[in-house]
Amino acid sequence: MKHKQKRTAGGRPPKFSELRRPVTMTLPERTLSQLAAIDEDRARAIVKITDAMAGSARHRSRPVELVEMAPGKSLIVVGPSQALKRIPFLKLIEIAPARYLLTIPSGTAVESLEVALHDMLNDLKIQNDEREHTIILELMNLIGHQRRTKRMSKAEILIINTD
């Protein structure tokens, strides 16, 4: 959602050079103290934390990347994606802030994920969201290439129900 910035004569100069808008939220005192330790200006503290966790323009993690888990073996790790959460059989497991492993149920063919990703590319909502489109396209291309070159395998992970 884009918001127009008001140009006013006088007043405080803007804190940020990019599009911005006011947001009101209630936070625990503990969080407010932690924000104050990062920057006395809460807005700047929140931006610093968000950039550090989700990636700033300069230090952003790739939307889809391979993370080596053993010599010659890598896992697919993706950034946050509302689109991927809409695939019913796909689960995203957060392994670090804003970094997710992909899991599919035992017996689910990798090709079914590839088809679901391909179908999503036709969704206008995704076509108009550059970040989501990039994640879907990169993931689809990575999985397709690895499958065609027979360099992809599946392994099961242990999941404990704690409820």
Q: Name, in order, each residue with C-beta under 8 angstroms of 146's C-beta and a sequence gap of 6 or more.
A: 152
- Taking the model in full, what pTM does it have? 0.68
Structure tokens at 37: 């330790």
Specify which residues 91 forms β-bridges with: 103
- The parent domain of residue 52 ranges over 24-59
Structure tokens at 135: 């994640």
Query: Does 51 share its domain with 122?
Result: no
Query: Does 51 share its domain with 126?
Result: no
State how far the Cα of 72 lies from the Cα of 149, in Å rounded to an integer.
15
Run of H or E including 117: helix 110-120
> 3-state class of 70 per DSSP?
strand
* Span 66-116, pLDDT tens digits: 999 888 899 999 989 999 999 999 999 998 878 899 999 999 999 999 999
